[in-house]
Structure 1
């Protein structure tokens, strides 16, 4: 049975959650952190994923890729890329398909990986983190993505999940997942005919800001409006602080950290820590050792200085709130609660700006870092065929209108707006077309002017085949089931032809008809399903061969990482054995080895040590094992003698203790018998005394 897995794929850190033990648990990683850095790094032999990648980021900055979710499904020529590129330290290149890839040095060679591959690598890493921590079987996952993701980006994320060997049961908007977390675990929501609770969820994470207006009832959630600023987040505050100190240090220490990527990254990391300290304190020192050119830098900043520094950012807080309220068609006064999530919402001045935008106090009843992952895990559990979860219905909202068009074969309309803007999804629409043969359909955004620049208008295309006309028939009706699925992807779920058949229907007898009256029938024309048609989709998803190629490549890299880890582990085991055995040979093992054995083994240990730090420094796993077993073949014999003697000592000590215990017990019994005998004598003497008076 697969354990439902929810992944909040964050820009800076990701949170993992599973549904088990009748609840939702956050999964800690290999260093017991409740979040994992969303980092993929490349080294001389293996990849550095998650925590390891973050640890090595400064020293391996050009070969470390971050901000993964910002480039998945994004075109290199997209207007967003110009803003995104400044946050990357690795080299980003344009791939043959126009998408973004990262060029890195891996295993001594220059390699280029697509954003889908890189994201798949990270998801594969966290998949194994969950498996190792929970000992569970994983096949399904629900991934939370930004609400502003286009259809192309959602397909790309689903492909990345498949590269990692998982089934994406749902690609859900992160703000909606947080809303599910709120609705499922709140016990005081209105029921029945009561007015729904209106909650504004504000999520400001590392890279983006989303505001969503939601209506809650017990077991039910409906998204009323969602707006966002996809270039507003914690990283913008970090960069503002870093740029401030870059100017200061240029004059104060005569160094320009902008010219040195490693130095800039070190100040950026320290700026993030300073921002967090100033969230709880009014002032904080700032110092970094040996930033560049062996120069140590130090300064300080007050909360007031930070607030002045980020004023241009704070001016952008109101816009998403205003647009979300307008889309929901409600006023700020009608909002019952404003719930904050996302790490950046801890900044006091930002919280005040949000509070001012709504004109009411803020609430933080949700876990700001974990609410999205928990909601995603619950959604994955809903899709599980083996788990029973409490009923919870939720609907998201279409941010843009989507229309379907088709080949014009007869004199009728050739397009139709199927999913209007602000309508709810998942949803299904049935349409009937009159066709003269096989045809194609296309889904596209209705209003091109509403789209961001460079986002394609076309969403998907389908070839419908198998249409057969009867003799003399000019056209045939075709029924199509159009669907916006739970992941927000537009599909054609079913297509079939219709035919009219004549059936006989019994005419009801009048009330005064005799009991033996014969039933009467009439002929009625009914439309029924005739032939199921073949649907061939052409979407943004990778084709089967390309996807299988990426899956195989990821499996190879995972096996390579595993081999490198195991090789290093065997090398460390050999090194530890050499030093441990040498020390014990001089001490506790000394009495149990002959001089000849000591001389031989000492020589072998020295040779093994020399080999380990010379020719064997970068050897293969089998050679480390062979060297270990060669030393152990003699060392274990001596160790066996030592253990045998120790066992003798233990047995002798145990026998001595048992003899002592038996002696003590015998003495105790003897003393007890003596006491009983004396007591009997005293009783007998007392009975023998006679009074002669």
Structure 2
């Protein structure tokens, strides 16, 4: 049985949660952090994923890929590419499909990886983090993504999960996941005919800002409106601080950090820490050692200076709020609560701007960093066939209208709007077409002018075959089941032909009919399923062959990483054994080795050490094992004698302690018997006394 896994796939950090022990738990990583950097790095031998990648980022800046969430299905020719490339230090290149890929140096060779592969590498890492921490089977996952993700990006995220060996049961909007976390654990929500509670969720993370208006009742929620600014987040505040200090240091120290990627990265990392400090303090120092050219820099900043610096950013706070309220058909006064999530909402001046936009105080009922992951884990548990969860129904909304078209056979009858803008999903629509043979269908966004520039108008295409005309038939009715699934993906789930058949239907007898009256029948024409049709889908998802190839590549890279880790582990074990054995040979083990053995072993240890730091510095796993076993053949013999003697001492001490305990117990029992005898004698003497008076 798979333990439900929720992944809040963040641009800077990701949070992992699982549903277990009748609750939702956040999973800590290998260094006990409750979030894991969304980083994939490449080294001379292996990959650096998560915490390791973040640790090595400054020294490996050009081979470390960040912003994984942003480069998934990003077109190289898209205007967003220019925006994103400012924040990503690795080289971004154009792939064969027009999407962005990352070019890095890995294992001594230049390699290029797609956004799908990079996301899969990271997901594989966090999957193993969850497995190591929970000791559970992990396969099903619910992934939280931004509300602005397109159909292509959702398919890509789903493919990445499959490459990582996960089953993506649902791709959910991140703010919707947080709202589920809110609705499930709130005990005071209205019920029945009561007016729904209207809650606005404002999520400002590392790279984007989303505002959603939700209506809650006990056991259910409905998304009323969602708007976003996909280029507004904590990284913009970090960059504003960094650019301020870049100008200051250029004038003060005559260095330009913009010309050095490592220096710029170090300052932007320090700027992020400064931003967090100023959220709780009115002023803070700023210093970084040896930024570039061996120059140490230092300065300071007050909260007022920061607020003045980010004023242009704060003017963008109101727009998503206004758009979300307009989509919901509500005013700010009709919103009952404003919940803020996302780490950037801790900035005091930003909180004030959000509060002013709604005209009411903010609420922080939810954990700002973990609410999305917990909601995703609960949603994954809903899909589990073996777990019972608290009933909770939720619906999201279509941001754009979606229509379906088919081969044109009559004027103005080839297109149908199936899922209107602001309608809810998941949802299913049944339509009937009259066809003369096999045909194609396409799904596309109805109003191209409403779409952001980077969104492709076409969504998917389907080939529907198996349509056969009967004798004398001009056309045959075809029933189609069109669906927008829980992940917001548009599909054709079923297609079949219909036929009319004549059946006999019994006519109800009148109430005064005789008991032995014969039933009467009438002939009725009924439409029934005739034959299932074959549906071949052409979506943004990878085909089976391409998917399997990427799975094999990821498995190969995993095996390589594992071999490198095990080789380093064996090398460290050998090094530790050399120094430990050498140190103990003249101390604890001195009396258990002959002079000849000591001489021979010291020579072996010296040769092993010389080899380890010369020819063996970069050797293979088998050679480290062989060297260890060579030393252990004599070293463990001496160690065994020492341990045998120590065990004899322990046994002797244990026997002495047991004998002492037995002696103490015997003395205690003897004293107890003596006391009982004396008490008995005293009682007998008392009974034998005679009063002579």
When structure 1 is superposed on structure 2, of 94-103 and 656-665 the one drifting more is: 656-665
The reply to whether residue 437 of structure 1 matches residue 437 of structure 2 is yes
Shift of 1:314: 0.1
Residue 385 of structure 1 is matched in structure 2 by 385
The reply to whether residue 589 of structure 1 matches residue 589 of structure 2 is yes
SS of residue matched to 1:530: strand
Residue 649 of structure 1 is matched in structure 2 by 649
The reply to whether residue 95 of structure 1 matches residue 106 of structure 2 is no
Residue 10 of structure 2 is matched in structure 1 by 10
Unaligned runs of 5+ in 2: none
Shift of 1:662: 5.0
Q: Kindly provide the CA deviation profile for residues 376-432 of structure 1, in whole angstroms up to 9, marking residues without a partner as x.
A: 001111111111111110000000000000001356600000001010011111111
Contact 1:42–1:63, Cα closer than 8 Å, also in 2: yes
Q: How does 1:132-531 map to 2 (within 5 A)?
A: 132-410=132-410, 413-531=413-531
Q: Kindly provide the CA deviation profile for residues 493-531 of structure 1, in whole angstroms up to 9, marking residues without a partner as x.
A: 100001011111111122222222211111111111001
Shift of 1:454: 3.6
Structure 2 CA distance for partners of 1:685 and 1:226, relative to 1, 3 Å: closer
Equivalents in 2 of 1:193, 1:444: separation in Å? 38
Structure 2 CA distance for partners of 1:199 and 1:592, relative to 1, 3 Å: same
Equivalents in 2 of 1:383, 1:6: separation in Å? 12
Residue 545 of structure 1 is matched in structure 2 by 545
SS of residue matched to 1:617: coil
Equivalents in 2 of 1:681, 1:491: separation in Å? 99
Unaligned runs of 5+ in 1: none
Structure 2 CA distance for partners of 1:661 and 1:187, relative to 1, 3 Å: closer
Residue 618 of structure 1 is matched in structure 2 by 618
SS of residue matched to 1:644: helix
Structure 2 CA distance for partners of 1:326 and 1:643, relative to 1, 3 Å: same
Equivalents in 1 of 2:375, 2:690: separation in Å? 97
Equivalents in 1 of 2:536, 2:591: separation in Å? 80
The reply to whether residue 116 of structure 1 matches residue 116 of structure 2 is yes
Structure 2 CA distance for partners of 1:364 and 1:669, relative to 1, 3 Å: closer
Equivalents in 1 of 2:465, 2:679: separation in Å? 112
Equivalents in 2 of 1:691, 1:406: separation in Å? 126
Contact 1:77–1:454, Cα closer than 8 Å, also in 2: no
Equivalents in 1 of 2:352, 2:85: separation in Å? 31
When structure 1 is superposed on structure 2, of 281-290 and 636-645 the one drifting more is: 636-645
Q: Kindly provide the CA deviation profile for residues 72-124 of structure 1, in whole angstroms up to 9, marking residues without a partner as x.
A: 01111111111111001000000011011000000000000000000000000
SS of residue matched to 2:86: helix
SS of residue matched to 1:152: helix
TM-score, normalised to structure 1, is 0.97
Equivalents in 2 of 1:507, 1:30: separation in Å? 74
Equivalents in 2 of 1:675, 1:470: separation in Å? 112
SS of residue matched to 1:596: helix
Structure 2 CA distance for partners of 1:403 and 1:687, relative to 1, 3 Å: closer
Equivalents in 2 of 1:682, 1:172: separation in Å? 87
Structure 2 CA distance for partners of 1:527 and 1:583, relative to 1, 3 Å: same
Shift of 1:583: 0.9
Equivalents in 2 of 1:224, 1:343: separation in Å? 24
Structure 2 CA distance for partners of 1:598 and 1:337, relative to 1, 3 Å: same
Q: Kindly provide the CA deviation profile for residues 570-599 of structure 1, in whole angstroms up to 9, marking residues without a partner as x.
A: 111111111111111110111011111111
The reply to whether residue 59 of structure 1 matches residue 89 of structure 2 is no
Equivalents in 1 of 2:377, 2:673: separation in Å? 73
Shift of 1:626: 1.1
Structure 2 CA distance for partners of 1:305 and 1:524, relative to 1, 3 Å: same
SS of residue matched to 1:356: helix
Equivalents in 1 of 2:458, 2:653: separation in Å? 85
Equivalents in 2 of 1:673, 1:491: separation in Å? 89
Equivalents in 2 of 1:10, 1:254: separation in Å? 36
Shift of 1:685: 11
Structure 2 CA distance for partners of 1:532 and 1:673, relative to 1, 3 Å: closer
Structure 2 CA distance for partners of 1:585 and 1:509, relative to 1, 3 Å: same
Structure 2 CA distance for partners of 1:664 and 1:175, relative to 1, 3 Å: closer
Q: Kindly provide the CA deviation profile for residues 176-211 of structure 1, in whole angstroms up to 9, marking residues without a partner as x.
A: 101111110111000000000000000000000000
Shift of 1:656: 3.4
Contact 1:73–1:157, Cα closer than 8 Å, also in 2: no
SS of residue matched to 2:244: helix
Q: Kindly provide the CA deviation profile for residues 31-64 of structure 1, in whole angstroms up to 9, marking residues without a partner as x.
A: 0000000000000010000000000000000000
Shift of 1:650: 2.2
Structure 2 CA distance for partners of 1:518 and 1:575, relative to 1, 3 Å: same
